[in-house]
Amino acid sequence: MEINLLILFLALLADRTFGDPDGLWRKIPHPVVLFGKAIELADKQLNKASDSDDERRRDGFLAMLGLLVLAAFIGFLVHLALQTIQPFGGLIEALIVAVFLAQKSLGEHVERVAIALREEGIVGARRAVSMIVGRDPEVLDDAAVSRAAIESLAENTSDGIIAPAFWYALLGLPGLFAYKMLNTADSMIGHLNDRYRDFGRFAAKFDDVANWIPARLTGLLISAAAWVVHGHDAALRSFNVMMRDARLHRSPNAGWPEAAMAGAIEVALAGPRVYGGVIANEPMLNGAGRRDAGAENIEDALNIFSVTTGIFTAAILALFLLGLFL
């Protein structure tokens, strides 16, 4: 496991510094795009409207199981191949892991929302936030755009960075590939609509299980980052809001990093929102916090995010060094 921690540390540094090579992905498909195509194929072949609910649940379970085994097996083969070209194999593996992380790209996408609010107004901000959230942007005002960007930043700190890093540290490339396949499947078929309520049931449930530890770890890291950025009181407030409000969120996991972030920057998050023309009435996280959020709050959240990932990276290095002496 020690070598995984070293490779993960290098991957986190590479992703934080360089981010995604967009030019490369314009020439060849990103691995997650390939995962998505595999999920689309399974959906097309196995998710039949003529099947009963039980049959669709069964086929969804078998499809998800097959996709996870396939992803893990590919990860195992890639790792095995890299073992034959050491020491370069470890460096290549670090670059592969970095491809599945999202520190720089997530920060840049959220930062664009703040810049758009300042320079282009609500029209540009809605366009920028539509790239990172699924809710209807046309019904969002400045405050709602800001809250949506902050919520996306907090949730994706877990889904896009901490969770894939956690599963790589634990299970290597097989764990990382399987997690990204699962997380992609949840975003594509883990919906409570007529088509996916049964077929995507297990994708959603498995994703909840896979993110249970990373989401709570992310919340703790955000509270620690609040201490670094704003001091003891902010850290305590972040932790208390997380412990009090996280379970109010409709997701069993997203509420932990979102509530921690809400407390850290003293902004109320979540609450009623519109998806596909349907209003989802949900309680506020940190309801006593500021509701008229703006670009300055997004920037504050980005500072917390940067320190959060920095603390996590330092912790990975510390665990690696600790392992050398145990």
Task: State pLDDT tens for residues 2-32.
Answer: 899 999 999 999 999 999 887 888 889 999 9
Average pLDDT over residues 185-208: 95
Closest Cα partner for 282 from 267, 290, 270, 296? 270
In sequence order, what are the residues at sequence separation of 6 or more whose Cβ sits closer than 8 angstroms to the Cβ of residue 265?
A: 150, 297, 300, 301, 304
3-state secondary structure 72-105: HHHHHHHHHHHHCCCCHHHHHHHHHHHHCCCHHH
pLDDT band at 274 (very low <50, low <70, confident <90, very high): low
Asked if the model's pLDDT at residue 135 lies above 80, the reply is: no
Average pLDDT over residues 215-221: 98
Least confident of 49-58, 219-228, 265-274: 265-274
Asked if the model's pLDDT at residue 252 lies above 70, the reply is: yes
Name the DSSP class of 138. G
> What pLDDT, on the 0 to 100 scale, is given for residue 279?
66
Global pTM value? 0.95
Is 43:189 a contact under the CB 8 Å cutoff?
Answer: yes
Asked if the model's pLDDT at residue 273 lies above 80, the reply is: no
> What pLDDT, on the 0 to 100 scale, is given for residue 278?
61
Closest Cα partner for 118 from 295, 301, 299? 295
Number of domains the chain is built from: 1
Average pLDDT, the chain: 94
Average pLDDT over residues 67-80: 98
Is 57:198 a contact under the CB 8 Å cutoff?
Answer: yes
> Which residue range is the domain that position 25 belongs to?
1-324
Asked if the model's pLDDT at residue 266 lies above 90, the reply is: yes
> What pLDDT, on the 0 to 100 scale, is given for residue 277?
58
In whole angstroms, give the CA distance from residue 23 to residue 19: 12
